[in-house]
Amino acid sequence: MEFAEPENWARIRREAEEFVAEHVTRDVIENERRTGDGVDRALTRKLGERGWIASGWPIAEGGAGLDPFEAAALWDALRKGGVPTAGPGTTMLPANAIRATGSAELKARILPGVAAGETLICLGYTEPAGGSDVFACATRSQRDGAEWIVNGQKIFTTFAHIADYCFLLTRSQPGSAGPRGLTMFLVPLDSPGVEIQAVHTMGHERTNIVFYNDVRVADANRVGEAHGGFAVMRAALEAEQNVAPGSRTAWVAKDALEFARTHRGPDGAELINDALVRERLARMAMEGEVAELLDLRVAFLDAEGDKPGPVSALFGPESYVRASAATIDIAGTAGMLDWTDPQSAVDGSLDAHYRSAVATTIYGGSSEVLRSLIVENRLGFPRSRPRR
Amino acid sequence: MDLSLTREQRAVRETFAALFGKQATPARVRRAESTGFDQLLWRHYADVGALGIGVPSDCGGGEGGLLELALVAEEAGGHLAPIPVAETAAGARLLGRLGEKELLGPILRGSVIVSLATHPGPVSQQMLVDGAIADAVLALDGESVVYVTRPNGLPKTARRNLGGLPLAPWYAPGATTVLAEGDGARTAFDAAVDEVRVLRAAALIGLASAAVGIGSRYAIVREAFGQPIGMYQAVAHPFADAVTALDGAQLLVRKACWAMDSAHDDAPALAAMAFVFAAETAYHATTHSLHVHGGYGFMEEYDIQLYYRRAKAWAAAFADPRRELLTVADRRFGPVTTGGR
């Protein structure tokens, strides 16, 4: 076993930090905090120029040929440097599914733009009545010659107001239920009949409700087989559950430590010298270490072609919630001031962590769904969700 | 970066899984409850060379690292092996580092048991984890590492206890020999105590993984209200937390082993984290694994209670896990500087 970072990670991280120093201005950071868009078009193109969007793809396909560890090191450094990563990161889930299951024509038309940072794709899975049960999909698609007509509504379609396409799950066989009778499309979001409404979140992220009213989609934009959308979805969902989510537990632990080193408690004592605070900071550091190790193992098993089940996707977000909550307890009012307040501590990050953390236990699979998958896959438990 | 075990490490694990599978059966574990020790198992353990695995070759050992010992400890924990693993392994390595070839001879053959007195203060004032069976203990006396022999005529009787441990105090220890003095001595002893942290963590992980196996198999076959209780998410989901935490604990132990053996600056913090995380994980995992048995889990005939009791005792015999978080804090953030709480 060898836990030392190989030299190339440090080099990649250094390159990312140089990129951040050059391109991620205070304006970029503040603009993201104000809009919550999750993507900066100009910055995304610059990432694409370096092959960093599809960083794991071969250089000939516009990627950078990085292995999963290198890609994780790169994106971790970019995110910590303030690059809005939700948009480009999300784009890669459908992009990889298209690369695996799409037609040759679709791949040639879409993927180069993705790698270049020109093309952004959002996810159209979740519906108002669906939630974690993505196969409860009710958005309809009906074939009409060389086109399909789509009607329905999706929710939590983050950065739909900026993206070029939505990777849209539809029910193409009327009367079908569950995972059967589904078809997946890549829908251009400038199509007539697409209506996008903003939804603002307590974490200051913007997301959207998207309505599809008689939207005509070319059959050439179908991904995978007609009525065979389940296979495409499964590939995309598995990629999401096994993707190293890049836990933020160690990040909030570092911010909490910085706070404790620079503030005093109500009794006037330095927080860093208070055993009650030290115990919680140590717990955050410990859970941060565990979260990072579980993430690292995802990348490692990914490189070996093995899947550990969504344990890191469960532990990372849940430990992030615990740490962000303990941090507010420790910091009190000083920790709850918004970053725009000149008196906010650690650039308002404590308030921001607490606001953002809870959503991470939901998107990409709610903790409850992940727990069911873990006991089924790792311990052979019977399935508890009803089969359709 | 490489998270895989070598072929040799996998062979170590398989050897000890087979040994404990045969020689540490639940019946043997029960028989050793009052003594805390299975002499026959110890004989086999010594015969396969277990005691020299982590000792330098010039002292007659196998030159293995802490990770090899952690693999042994994990297997021992998985079978609740009633022999002293952590303190004896760390003690043998300490003697190896101090170049005590002669002392090590009978120790590596298994005929002399040398444990470690890990708690602060004189040996005479500690409850020794292996006090009922050890022939000598290594301890820190001021700035000296000392070798303290068993009191003359002390019967090898363990205090009856929660974890079936060979606990006994030595109120009037035997002869004391100074093996090393000064800064180097303290550093070497502290490293040995950190190795105990890591090896106890590894044993707790083995213990908890086995308990999760027992509990989950029961939950899958036991029916209530017309279906297996494992179909109820309130029963199933805590097992997911246990599997997740055990994966994390195992990675943390292995990183701590790597850090200790490569003298990484963060090694002491990682060793303490590994202990805390494994202790808490083992407690939660065994608690749920027992709980799903309902009333049966409380019965002596069911093995799960053996795991539940040891999960708590094996950790607390070394230290209070929450207090160990303050050790993590000292090591990661530096010691308390002014009058804190």
Band (B341; pLDDT cuts 50, 70, 90): low
At residue A364, the pLDDT reads 77
ipTM over 0.95: yes
What local confidence, expressed as pLDDT, does residue B239 receive? Answer: 98
- Helix/strand/coil percent split, chain B, to 5: 60, 10, 30
> CA A126, CA A124: separation in Å to the nearest integer?
6
Residue spans of the domains in chain A: they are 7-86+95-118, 122-227, 244-379
Q: What percent of chain A lies above the pLDDT cut of 70?
A: 97
Distance, in Å, from the CA atom of B331 to the CA atom of B193, rounded to the nearest integer, reads: 14
Name A353's Cβ contacts closer than 8 Å, sequence gap at least 6: A248, A251, A252, A255, A320, A323, A324, A327
Q: Which residues of chain B neighbour A291 with C-beta distances below 8 Å?
A: 248
Optimal mutation site among B277, B325, B327, B336, interface A, most CBs of chain A within 10 A: B325
Asked if the structure places residue B320 within a domain, the reply is yes
B219 vs A247: which has the higher pLDDT: B219
Asked if residue B26 is part of any domain, the answer here is: no
Give which of A7, A242, A276, A289 to mutate to test B binding, by max B Cβ within 10 Å.
A289
Q: Specify the CATH architecture of the domain A244-379.
A: Up-down Bundle (1.20)
Per-residue pLDDT, A68: 83
Residue whose token pair is 């093996």: B179
Contact B216 A381 (CB under 8 A): yes
What residues have CB less than 8 Å from B227, skipping those under 6 apart?
none
Quick check: A301 pLDDT over 90? no
Q: Which residues of B touch A375 (CB under 8 A)?
A: 216, 230, 236-237, 239-240, 243
CA-to-CA dists, residue A250 to A67, A76, A283, B305, angstroms:
23, 12, 10, 36
Instruction: Give the pLDDT of residue A216.
Output: 98
Question: Is the CB of A286 less than 8 angstroms away from the CB of B336?
Answer: no
Q: What are phi and psi of A164, to 5 degrees?
A: -85, -35
Q: What is the pLDDT of residues B237-258, one digit of tens each?
A: 999 999 999 999 999 999 999 9
Q: Are A281 and B333 in contact (CB under 8 A)?
A: yes
Range A122-227: architecture per CATH: Beta Barrel (2.40)
Q: What is the pLDDT of residue A315?
A: 96
What number is the average pLDDT over the span B313-335? 98
pLDDT for residue A387: 75
* Pair B175, B45: CB distance under 8 Å: no
pLDDT of B284 strictly over 80: yes
* Residue B14: partners with Cβ closer than 8 Å, 6 or more residues away: none
- How far is the C-alpha of A263 from the C-alpha of B23, rounded, in Å? 57
Q: Which of B314, B97, B54, B82 is nearest to B184 (CA)?
A: B97
Record: contact B240-A2, CB cut-off 8 A: no
- pLDDT of A388 reads 66
Cα separation of B324 and B327, whole Å? 5
Say whether domain A7-86+95-118 belongs to CATH 1.20.1440.230: no
The answer for A 308-337 residues in CB contact with B (under 8 A) is: 308-309, 311, 314-315
Q: What is the mean pLDDT of residues A134-159?
A: 96
pLDDT at B319 over 60: yes
Show the domain range for B254.
Answer: 187-333
Residue A24 · residue A43 · CB < 8 Å:
yes
Average pLDDT over residues A146-161: 97
In sequence order, what are the beta bridge partners of A170? A183
Residue A244: pLDDT over 70: no
In chain B, % of residues over pLDDT 90: 97
Question: Using the beta-carbon criterion (under 8 Å), do A285 and B273 form an inter-chain contact?
Answer: yes
Nearest CA of chain A to the CA of B262: how many Å? 10
What are A365-388's pLDDT values in tens digits? 899 999 999 999 999 999 988 876
Contact A286 B245 (CB under 8 A): no
Count of A-B CB contacts under 8 Å: 162
- Closest residue in A to B236 (Cα) is A375
Query: Rounded distance, CA A257 to CA A272, Å?
Result: 8
> In total, how many domains does chain B have?
1
Domain CATH code at residue B199: 1.20.140.10
**B214 alpha-carbon distance from chain centroid:** 21
The answer to whether residue B129 sits within a structural domain is no
For residue B296, count CB atoms less than 10 angstroms from its CB and return exposed for 0-12, middle for 13-18, buried for 19 or more: middle
Cβ count near A3 (within 10 Å): 19
Transcribe B224-236 into DSSP letters.
ETTEEGGGSHHHH
Mean pLDDT of B76-89: 98
Give yes or no for residue B227 having a pLDDT over 80.
yes
Using the predicted structure, report yes or no on whether residue A236 has a pLDDT greater than 90: no
Higher-confidence position of B124 and A131: B124
